[in-house]
């Protein structure tokens, strides 16, 4: 039996070394080490040997089995590397080659216009002492609704058509969820902004998308008033547009602020005359805002008798549209490289 084992070992090692593919190696493994393999069949007759010879032969068989498995793994690594080297030589791609057709004039990549303006906004607010926060795009009901003073069955939930996931979570409908996470972590006073992507299950037109971007902002301190809110909003718009912009502040209902306002800017596409972007009103809703509702402060573990604050949710897509006179919000996600390379 020892001779059988040694002969099988030598034959198997020679076959492994000649194997030209990983599939061949697998066939060798099954043929020799499989449940019905040659080595297995030999070992089944161990019981017919005397005890001392059985122990010695069993030890030898385990050593040979380990050696075969090691040889299989070593050859597998060699074949894998050979395959990789072959792919490198045959499928090599020169990434410095000029792109054909339309892309020839677009050789250098650059930031998306939304990213460009987002970074400008971040610079503006950090220069005024604001910290930049982030949060998950897949949110819980608690952070997206309940902690923002929108309990279950609240009619305000109907204002935000929501994408729900099968596990009961949702794609966040606003970056306001970042507020709560920020309040839980930070100690007043503080100033924060939270830029990010949001999702609404709604019809798409020239000024509405189901995937768009917002910049959430919040300031918590003592004796915060609407005057503080207006100052920071005017500062932002002046820095973005490099001039004074005509705005109006009108009452608006949002469960997480009280009082709440809609800050509109005069449409820069039509100059206030009316167009498809502003729904022919001459004004564009840009920035829902207001003083933070006391219940929201409580959810954030902040005492509303001691602290107050303002919050806003800037529509980043619409701001970029006004900055560059873009007449259709759908361009941002179109993937049209001709559009993107204008900025």
Closest CA to 188 of 224, 152, 214: 224
Per-residue pLDDT of 21-32, as tens digits, reads: 888 888 888 888
Question: What pLDDT shows up at residue 170?
Answer: 93
Quick check: pTM over 0.85? no
- Quickly state the pLDDT bin for 176 (edges 50, 70, 90): very high
- Quickly state the pLDDT bin for 107 (edges 50, 70, 90): low
In the chain, domain spans: 2-90, 113-340
- Quickly state the pLDDT bin for 338 (edges 50, 70, 90): confident
Instruction: Find the mean pLDDT for residues 306-330.
Output: 91
User: Average per-residue pLDDT in the chain?
Assistant: 86
- Quickly state the pLDDT bin for 98 (edges 50, 70, 90): low
Helix/strand/coil for 11: helix
Higher pLDDT, 322 or 309: 309
- Quickly state the pLDDT bin for 95 (edges 50, 70, 90): low
Higher pLDDT, 76 or 109: 76
- Quickly state the pLDDT bin for 219 (edges 50, 70, 90): very high
Closest CA to 174 of 191, 152, 149, 153: 149
Instruction: Find the mean pLDDT for residues 243-260.
Output: 87
Question: What pLDDT shows up at residue 160?
Answer: 67
Supply angle C-alpha 116, 178, 139, rounded to 5.
105
Question: For the stretch 105-132, what's the b/e string if a residue is b when 16 or more beta carbons lie within 10 angstroms of its beta carbon?
Answer: eeeeeeeebbeebbeebeebbeeeebee
- CB of 288 within 8 A of CB of 261? yes
Q: What is the DSSP letter of 339?
A: H
Higher pLDDT, 210 or 106: 210
Backbone angles phi, psi at 122, to 5 degrees: -60, -40
Give the distance from CA 112 to its chain's centroid.
Answer: 16
- Quickly state the pLDDT bin for 271 (edges 50, 70, 90): confident
Question: What pLDDT shows up at residue 105?
Answer: 56
What span, in angstroms and rounded, lies between the C-alpha atoms of 255 and 307?
A: 19
Beta 257-266 vs 247-251: how paired, if at all?
Answer: antiparallel
Instruction: Find the mean pLDDT for residues 148-158.
Output: 79
Closest CA to 175 of 320, 299, 285, 312: 312
Taken in order 143, 146, 149, 152, the sign of the CA dihedral is positive
Q: Is the pLDDT of residue 315 over 80?
A: yes
Closest CA to 336 of 113, 138, 174: 113
To the question of domain 113-340 being in CATH 3.30.930.10, the answer is yes
Q: Is the pLDDT of residue 207 over 80?
A: no
Question: What pLDDT shows up at residue 99?
Answer: 59
Instruction: Find the mean pLDDT for residues 146-170.
Output: 84
- Quickly state the pLDDT bin for 39 (edges 50, 70, 90): confident
């Amino acid at each position: 039996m020892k001779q059988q084992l040694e002969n099988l070992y030598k034959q198997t090692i020679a076959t492994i070394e000649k194997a030209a593919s990983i599939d061949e190696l697998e066939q060798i493994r099954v043929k020799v080490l499989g449940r019905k393999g040659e080595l297995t069949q030999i070992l089944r007759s161990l019981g017919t040997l005397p005890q001392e010879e059985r122990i010695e032969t069993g030890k030898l068989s385990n050593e040979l089995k380990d050696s075969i498995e090691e040889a299989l793994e070593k050859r597998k690594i060699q074949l894998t590397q050979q395959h990789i080297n072959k792919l490198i030589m045959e499928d090599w791609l020169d990434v410095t080659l000029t792109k054909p057709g339309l892309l020839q004039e677009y050789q250098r990549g650059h930031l998306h216009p939304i990213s460009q303006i987002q970074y400008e906004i971040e610079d503006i607010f950090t220069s005024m002492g604001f910290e930049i926060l982030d949060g998950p795009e897949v949110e819980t009901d608690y952070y997206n609704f309940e902690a923002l003073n929108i309990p279950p069955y609240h009619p305000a939930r109907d204002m935000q058509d929501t994408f729900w996931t099968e596990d009961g979570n949702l794609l966040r409908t606003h970056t306001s969820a970042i507020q709560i996470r920020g309040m839980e972590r930070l100690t007043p006073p503080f100033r924060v902004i939270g830029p990010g992507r949001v999702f609404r299950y709604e019809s798409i037109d020239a000024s509405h998308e189901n995937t768009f971007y917002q910049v959430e902002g919040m300031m918590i301190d003592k004796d915060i008033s609407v005057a503080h809110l207006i100052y920071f909003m005017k500062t932002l718009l002046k820095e973005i547009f490099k001039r004074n912009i005509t705005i109006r502040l009108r009452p608006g209902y949002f469960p997480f602020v009280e009082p709440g306002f809609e800050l509109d800017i005069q449409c820069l596409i039509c100059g206030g005359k009316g167009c498809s972007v502003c729904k022919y009103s001459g004004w564009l809703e840009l920035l829902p805002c207001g003083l933070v509702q006391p219940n929201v402060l409580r959810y954030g573990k902040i005492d509303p008798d001691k602290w107050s604050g303002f919050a806003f949710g800037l529509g980043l897509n619409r701001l970029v549209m006004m900055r560059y006179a873009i007449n259709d919000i759908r361009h941002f996600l179109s993937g049209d490289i001709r559009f993107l390379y204008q900025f």
